[in-house]
Chain A
């Protein structure tokens, strides 16, 4: 899956032309751009924010920002990456305003289990749970864990972009993602996933 899949197909040439028109203040081009990308941004916000109304409000506010900042967009970079960056910053700010963020990076690292998970258990988990259940489990994760998974697996952001958005070191992003996966597994399995971790023969982790 690539970013275009979540934002709808549009050729690069068409997009470039549309963006240049938007920069000149062309309302019709802006409308087209909005129609093209607003649904994806709404879905993105919907994955991150607590309520549908919040996602609606956030989508509107994000596009207000996009329109204001379109002049600063570097056309050498993918537009969707820039768009998701604006959106993720906005959503992260919203979440931060609402509650105290978990800033203990090392805490997350220390919480990672030493053993390998049981691959069979992981496969069973994937077979037993529908996409809806996964999304419900995701909704119950701490903000940063949810944010990390959505940025990576929905918006397909790079580790650098995720680190920048969440304000963490780049080297920590992998651990953050893995920790988020563990938390999601725990949510879906009711906490049993951690207990079934298998230790490979002769193994201690490196």
Chain B
């Protein structure tokens, strides 16, 4: 039986049909197929159906319903890109230098003045590792909370796109930050009050002491750090390390060899603190017999300083009364400053507040107080005000330019997203309030601190960049949507200038600024969601 006879009796398969149609069969084979279809209606129909399917596929694939993006239409300029990158890197370096010199370095300097000599911000946040010395015994509580938070954040970020490098980078970066700030664990004595805890006089704890109770009284000595969370804490004994206190009331009557860090409604220091004091509270008192061997950093509603402070003083307070001895400089920002007749300030005093300070005649000051009374609200009569606005516009424009050069696709998408006003405003409001809350929750879980701080930084960047997208949209409304780098920069510059001018309008300006931030933030969120969300391939 010849192959031809075989073909005539048996139908060819679909692959052979397709190969025949696409002229992929050799000539002898093609001849056999031709001979078969001449006498077989079923195979002829199959070939017709396959052929029409080919045409159908070609038409579907080559039909253009989707516009070509402006970015693709624009010819990439080799030289322009080169200089664009150099400019972008230059601006970025300049920005980092400015941020470092303007913000980070002064912050470190202040931290150093306040006794954080390591100059490590994370270490400062962890109070020089004191909090973590009790890790071994506290791990059940903190580990669970931290692991839950990290897992939740990781799942949220990676829920749709595990392969998205940016999300993984973000999470891993946050993890690295979180892990890098975790100091080595040490053992500690952990006490839970039921409901109160008292360390009797004459007893000594030979390690760090961590106490959680309704009321805490420390009459004995602690040969280590005292970490306490309580409504009321009274320390009459000798603490040879640091005190780290959280609670409603903290009263320290016994000597402390190390530092005191406190977050309390009322803080009272009546003894000698060997090193530095950092306190956040409603009312803070340094009694006349009390001495602080290092510096004091305070943020309080009301502050009374009757005792001695050997080092510098840095205060943010509502009211502050100074009637004691300050051995170094003082930097005070307060609503009201009173310097009593018994006060002695050896170094320079800088005061910034809404009212003139009240200085008693007998007060001894090393040098005249530098007083700054800031005027409330903008002073439209001064040129410096307008110059400042121009500088702000310039900074915003440069940042926008940086975004445009580094992330042109993202920039264009974000500007497009501003056109969806309703969703943008909705998401903007949501994220404006939700983001800091989430960041604070992350920070509370300690190990999530890296994520929390990162979130705050990204939040700040997002808020700053929000007007850029709205400004570009505004520029597009006024100048048109001409394609190209030049027109885009022009739209950005004009839009930002108009927005900056609008925010200068008394009363309405603040409202406009808020709307712009909410709108731009929402557009940013929409764009990020689109970028990170699941995608369906070319369904143009």
Determine whether the beta carbon of B53 is less than 8 Å from that of A42.
Answer: no
Is B61's CB under 8 angstroms from A174's CB?
no
Query: Does any Cβ of B come within 8 Å of A22's Cβ?
Result: no
| Contact yes or no, A136 B539, CB < 8 A | yes
Q: A159 to B22, alpha carbons, bound, how many Å?
A: 9
Minimum CB distance partner of B32 in chain A: A206
- Cβ contact of A200, chosen from B43, B56, B65, B537, cutoff 8 A: B43
B22 neighbours in A (Cβ, 8 Å): 159, 174
Does A146 have its Cβ within 8 Å of any Cβ on chain B? Answer: yes
Interface size on A, residues (CB 8 A): 68
Question: Are A6 and B49 neighbours in the complex by a CB distance under 8 Å?
Answer: no
Within 8 A of A (CB), among B481-535: 531, 535
Complex contacts, B45 vs chain A, CB 8 Å: 119
Contact check: which of A150, A159, A202 meets B24 at CB < 8 Å? A159
In the complex, what distance in Å separates the CA atom of A46 from the CA atom of B540? 8
Rounded to whole angstroms, the CA-CA distance of A175 and B18 in the bound complex is 9
CA distance A63 to B75 in the complex (A): 10
The reply to whether A135 and B69 form a contact with Cβ atoms under 8 Å apart is no
**B6, B14, B531, B538: the one within 8 Å of A46 (CB):** B538
Tell me whether B61 and A35 are in contact (CB under 8 A). Answer: no
Q: Is the CB of A50 within 8 A of B536?
A: yes
Is A87 on the interface with B (CB-CB < 8 A)? no
Q: A38 within 8 Å of B by Cβ?
A: yes
Residues on B with C-beta less than 8 A from A19 are none
Across the two chains, which residue of chain A brings its CB closest to B48? A119
Contacts of A111 in B (CB 8 A): none
Q: Using A116-B42, A134-B57, A203-B42 as known contacts, say yes or no to A1 and B62 having CB atoms under 8 A apart.
A: yes
B71 touches A200 (CB 8 A): no
| A51-B535, A119-B46 given; A134·B60 CB < 8 A | yes
Quick one: closest A residue to B40, CB to CB? A200
- Interface pair B538/A153, CB less than 8 Å apart: no
B75 to A31, Cβ gap below 8 A? yes
Q: Is B409 a contact of A57 with CB atoms below 8 Å?
A: yes
> For the complex, what is the distance from the CA of A131 to the CA of B413, rounded to whole Å?
27
Contact of B14 among A45, A54, A64, A178 (CB under 8 A): A178
Let me know if A138 and B538 touch, CB within 8 A.
yes
Is the beta-carbon distance between A139 and B536 smaller than 8 angstroms?
yes
The reply to whether the CB of B72 lies closer than 8 angstroms to some CB of chain A is yes
Q: Is the CB of B71 within 8 A of A56?
A: yes
**Binary interface profile of A, 108-150, with partner B (CB < 8 Å = 1, else 0)?**
0000111011010011001000011011101110000010011
Chain A nearest CB, measured from B95 CB (Å): 26
Q: A48-B537, A126-B56, A139-B538 are in contact. Are A131 and B63 (CB under 8 A)?
A: yes
Residues of the A chain whose Cβ atoms lie less than 8 Å from the Cβ of B531: 53
Q: Does A77 contact B (CB under 8 A)?
A: no
Partner of A39, one of B24, B54, B72, B535: B72
In contact, B537 and A126 (Cβ under 8 angstroms):
no
* B42, closest chain A residue (CB): A200
Instruction: Let me know if B13 and A206 touch, CB within 8 A.
Output: yes
Give Cα A39–Cα B71 distance, bound, in whole angstroms: 11
Chain A, range 168-204, C-beta contacts under 8 Å to B: 174-175, 177-178, 181, 184, 200-204
Given A34-B75, A123-B49: A49 in contact with B537 (beta carbons within 8 A): yes
Q: Is the beta-carbon distance between A140 and B536 smaller than 8 angstroms?
A: yes
- Restricting to A17-51, which residues have a CB under 8 Å from any CB of B? 27, 30-31, 34-35, 38-39, 42-43, 45-51
B15 within 8 A of A: yes
Asked if B163 and A98 make an inter-chain contact with CB atoms under 8 angstroms apart, the answer reads yes
- With A5-B62, A6-B62, A39-B68: A178-B538 Cβ-Cβ less than 8 Å: no
Chain A residues within 8 Å of B540, by CB: 43, 46-47, 132, 135
Chain B contacts to A: CB under 8 angstroms: 6-7, 9-16, 18-19, 22, 24, 40, 42-43, 45-46, 48-50, 52-54, 56-66, 68-69, 71-73, 75-76, 78, 163, 409, 413, 531, 535-540
21 A–B pairs (Cβ distance < 8 Å), ordered by A: A39-B68, A43-B62, A49-B537, A60-B76, A67-B78, A112-B15, A116-B11, A116-B13, A126-B53, A134-B56, A134-B57, A134-B60, A134-B61, A135-B60, A138-B539, A174-B18, A181-B18, A184-B57, A205-B10, A205-B14, A206-B16
